[in-house]
């Protein structure tokens, strides 16, 4: 038979700041750190919810300049740009909870871009992780239709304050 791809398993990011990257994926995107094999290089495996069955969704690989050999032996040597996605343009997730997500982005001081694609029924929010990887969050368009826009929502929230 022929090999069949069932689904995307995970994506990995090499990071110079493991703590900052882990904080971002946990606090901003809601991933949970979980089991990671004892590889000979630092890292964190992040899972959606408490389900560790599928080996994590995001793997953050710590780059240890003092001991790069473990990583080189396992994954090979690579010239790592200090920031950005290299030839991968972005990673996308299907999500819900737009208004709450705006609140998290505001609280964490993360810049974002809102885009709506009516023909797909999607509202997209683009952000960057600490390594400069662009992440696209796809919300149902009905969530943006309910509030109008971030500016409209923010103005309404200000009026609500006592």
Q: What is the pLDDT of residues 8-63, one digit of tens each?
A: 888 998 888 999 999 999 999 999 999 998 888 899 999 988 777 778 899 999 88
DSSP, collapsed to helix, strand or coil, labels residue 105 as helix
- What's residue 155's pLDDT? 81
Q: What is the mean pLDDT of the chain?
A: 86
**Cα angle 20, 134, 108; round to 5:** 45
Q: How many CB atoms lie within 10 A of CB 72?
A: 13
- What's residue 157's pLDDT? 72
């Amino acid at each position: 038979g022929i090999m069949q791809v069932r689904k995307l398993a995970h994506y990995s990011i090499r990071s110079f700041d493991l703590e900052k990257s882990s904080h971002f994926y946990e606090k901003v995107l809601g991933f949970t750190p979980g089991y990671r094999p004892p590889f000979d290089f630092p890292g964190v495996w992040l899972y959606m919810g408490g389900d560790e069955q599928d080996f994590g969704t995001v793997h953050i690989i710590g780059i240890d300049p003092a001991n790069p050999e473990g990583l080189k032996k396992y994954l090979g040597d690579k010239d790592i740009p200090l920031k950005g996605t290299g030839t991968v343009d972005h990673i996308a997730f299907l999500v819900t909870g737009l208004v709450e997500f705006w609140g998290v982005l505001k609280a964490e001081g993360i810049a974002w871009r809102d885009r709506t694609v009516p023909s797909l029924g999607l509202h997209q929010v683009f952000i960057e992780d600490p390594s400069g990887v662009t992440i696209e969050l796809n919300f149902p368009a009905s969530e943006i239709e309910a509030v109008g826009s971030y500016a409209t929502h923010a103005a309404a929230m200000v009026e609500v304050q006592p």
